[in-house]
Structures are given as structure tokens and as C-alpha cells.
Amino acid sequence: MTASSKRPSTPYSEFIEELADAAGKAIMPHFRNSFDVENKVAGGFDPVTVADKGGEEIMRKMINERYPEHGILGEEYGPENLDAENVWVLDPIDGTRSFITGMPTWGTLIGLKTNGKPSLGLMGQSYINEFYAGDTKSAWYSGPIGEKTLKTRSCGALSDAVLFTTTPALFDQAEREAYDRIEEQVKLVRYGTDCYAYCMVAAGSADVVIESGLQAYDIVALIPIIEGAGGVVTNWAGGSAVDGGQVVASGDPKLHEIVLKQLAQAART
């Protein structure tokens, strides 16, 4: 990843790019290649690969060497020093199902929480070689189409909105009913895009993402990107989404309020 002229130059913003580069080098030799897939849960399918593990291992090593006083929360290897002022939240491959089926709609998520709040985040896609990042105040892109500032677009009505979700099958009955009412009203719906959905909202190509059952490492990195681009990320009740769970992200704050009202009946507080 090349440093973008669109991003602020700080020690952590430079380091997060180093982490993304290193994770990509560990992950890419396995993409569209043969490897074993483990299942992390009984009675379902939650895949993990050597690429997931290798990507997180190298990032943890770099963080511990550079910032030994920092904490780490990773999908594959759990928590470490979570009481620290700065905690890195890592998902080496968000969208492992896409990864194992050869689809390039996965990404490496690297977030930084400062005093419990997301302060910096990056989504890196090493196959396409593009990166979305933000610090809650600004957001930026670097990739095949160059470098640019990320900005959400205006969308004040559901009838004009493009909606993303991973799959409606992940919702429980009450969530599904609330989600379906919204899906019936929007202009276009797309499934299966994982972390890319949030980045497309930040880039102004889509308007809202509605999901449930997320973990902190699924969303912490994405919050500073969307907020930095002018959007909003909350839980379905309008509170913080930092711990995951029911998450909604919107490019337009006005649209966000409309969506929250329709999700309220199924929101967990």
C-alpha cells in the first residue's frame, strides 16, 4: 500500500497501513489456492483457514513489537491487555466464505479503539490492492483508481436507497420482519458483500447496511471510515455499535433516522 496524500500523516495512520501490507503478504499466497478449511462451530459453518491465522499472527507480532503497551482483540486468537488505552481490533479476513470460494469481496479489517471508542480504521483488499481508511473526522481511499477522499452521498428516502446485508437468513424472526419491511421500500438490494458494503456506503456508492449478530472485530474498523466520510453507524436502538450485535450504517444521517424508526420494534437494548 502506498501512503495516500489524502490521509492525515500520524504514527498510527502509517502503522495501520504497515499492518495491512503485512497481513496481505501472509494471506495472498492462499487465495484461490488449495488449503484446508476448518469449521469453528458445531451444528453450523463458521470457516477459518491458515490464511486467517497467518494474517492475524503477523499483525499481533508487529503490534507487540512496536506498541507493547497496547491491547489486542482478534477474531482468531482472542483478547490481550484489553484495559489498555489503545486496543487494536483485528479481523484478518472478514468474509472468509467469500475467500474460500474465490470471490474478492473479503477484506482485512484493522481498527483502533482509544479509551473504548473507535478512533482509526482500515479495510484492505490485497487482491484488488485497494484500501479504505478513516479516523472519524475524514476518510480516504487508495487503489487502482488512484487516491481520493471518501464522502457519503445524500439520500433522504428509502425509495431512493441502495441497501446491503450479508444475508437475511442471519436475522431472527422479529429482525427479519423489520428488515423485510425496509427491503420492500428500497430501490436496490445486494447480498453477500461483508465489509465491502460499509466501504461502498463510505464511498457514496450505496446508502445503508443492516446486519445482526456481528462481533466487535466485524465493525470497529469500519466505524471510523463511515463516520469520517460523513455517515452514521449505530446499533438498531441508536446506541453505540462498538461491541457489534445489531448494526445499521447509513451514509445520510436523515436516512439513518428513518431506518432506525423502522427497526425499533426489533431493536435490543
For 64-74, how does the pLDDT look when each residue is reduced to its tens digit (9 = 90+)?
999 999 999 99
Q: Report d(CA 179, CA 197) in Å as an integer.
A: 16
User: In the chain, at which residue ranges do the beta strands (DSSP E only) sit?
Assistant: 37-39, 47-49, 71-74, 78-80, 86-94, 107-114, 117-125, 130-134, 139-143, 146-149, 162-165, 188-191, 208-214, 232-235, 245-250
Question: Where in the chain are all domains bearing CATH 3.30.540.10?
Answer: 11-149
**pLDDT tens digits, one per residue of 88-126:** 999 999 998 899 899 999 999 999 999 999 999 999 999
The DSSP annotation for 63-97 comes to HHHH-TTSEEEETTTEEE-TTSSEEEEEEEEETHH
What are the start and end residues of each CATH 3.40.190.80 domain in the chain?
A: 158-266
pTM: 0.93
User: How far from 154 is each of 2, 100, 227, CA to CA, in Å?
Assistant: 30, 35, 14
Q: How far apart are alpha carbons 268 and 74 in whole angstroms?
A: 25
The domain defined by 11-149 carries CATH number 3.40.50.150 = no
What averages of pLDDT result for each successive group of 10 residues across the chain (269 residues)? 61 95 96 74 65 94 98 93 98 92 95 98 97 97 96 98 95 98 98 96 98 97 98 98 98 98 93
Nearest to 245 by CA among 222, 269, 217, 213: 213
DSSP 8-state symbol, 170: G
CATH fold label, 158-266: D-Maltodextrin-Binding Protein; domain 2 (3.40.190)
